[in-house]
Structure 1
Amino acid sequence: MEAKISDFGISRDYIMNETGALSTTLMGSMGYMDHEYMSSMKLTEKVDIYSFGVLLFEVVCGKNAIFIDASQQQTNIVEWAKAFINRGVIDEIVDVSLHGQFDVQSVWKVAEVAVACVEVPSSRRPKMSEIYLELKEAERLELESGERNAIDQPSVEFTG
């Protein structure tokens, strides 16, 4: 449960060609690369939005962008998680280390944001400011759920 953000998938490697001009080679990490970008080679801010969506899936699911599934197959987290989400199932993809201690509405909100971030075409993806607001709403839902659960739990009083 320790976030480690070190790569959203795309970096630029500047190389001087023989004429002295800078040429660029775009690189990225498997599972984080926007398929639309890979086919068009056009770099936009929406490429980073896609990669952030993958990160959100990782947070919800507790799995890497590319992971080995139960049948020992290499699996893309976006395709895997979206299949469950499209069927209306969220409990089966949530990180098992949470032991069911989460607000379902909050997780759905984050999952919906992740799905929006990986939309095709990329023009349908939200702006980062919109993502921020949606994630703040998910946080609010989770905090309210925690407060409700604290109220519902009987308090234990020790007397001497």
Structure 2
Amino acid sequence: VVLLEIITGRPPILNLPEKTHITQWVNSRLNCGDIDNIVDTRLQGDYDRNSIWKALEVALSCTSIVSVERLTMSNVTTQLKDCLVPEFTRNAFSIQEFPLKISSEISPSTR
């Protein structure tokens, strides 16, 4: 859900004519192929559609009602890194120029 909030720039519960969960809102637009109206307008169209599409698929797979259909955090990390490849290509960066220190073995910090 947090990833959907980041991509859309919207809160988890949208106050449309009736309260709608962000997953329902995104799914309804994706089913129509309406990806441009899902992405946060503050990006002003400066994004790779394939990257966004993949990131949305990852986010939505994490919200599946059936728990066995949800991705593991390790898979989420791997797939999100893969989402960045088209962005790097589009912006002429290489993956080596932008090191990612994302660990799929994150543990909670002590309080």
Instruction: Report deviation, 1:140.
Output: 1.6
| Secondary structure of residue in 2 paired with 1:133 | helix
| Secondary structure of residue in 2 paired with 1:88 | coil
Aligned to 1:98: 43
Structure with the greater alpha carbon radius of gyration = 1
- In 1, Cα distance between the equivalents of 2:31 and 2:47? 20
What is the letter of the counterpart of residue 61 of structure 2? A
Instruction: Report deviation, 1:68.
Output: 1.8
Aligned to 2:80: 135
TM-score, normalised to structure 1's length? Answer: 0.55
Q: Please, what is the CA RMSD of the aligned residues?
A: 1.4
Q: Relative contact order, CA 8 A, sep 6+: which one is greater? A: 2
What is the letter of the counterpart of residue 118 of structure 1? T
What is the letter of the counterpart of residue 68 of structure 1? N
- In 1, Cα distance between the equivalents of 2:91 and 2:13? 32
Alignment of 1:67 onto 2:23? no
Aligned pair count?
A: 93
What is the letter of the counterpart of residue 122 of structure 1? S
Gaps of 5+ in 2: 94-111
Instruction: Report deviation, 1:67.
Output: 2.1
Identical aligned residues as a percent: 34
Gaps of 5+ in 1: 1-53, 149-160
Instruction: Report deviation, 1:64.
Output: 0.6
| Secondary structure of residue in 2 paired with 1:75 | strand
What is the letter of the counterpart of residue 112 of structure 1? E
Aligned to 1:121: 66
Q: For residues 124-147 of structure 1, give each alpha carbon's deviation from its aligned partner in whole angstroms, at most 9, with x where no partner exists.
A: 101000010110011122121122
TM-score, normalised to structure 2's length? Answer: 0.77
- In 2, Cα distance between the equivalents of 1:111 and 1:93? 10
- In 2, Cα distance between the equivalents of 1:86 and 1:115? 12
Alignment of 1:147 onto 2:65? no
Instruction: Report deviation, 1:123.
Output: 1.0
State the 4+ residue runs in structure 1 displaced beyond 3 angstroms: none
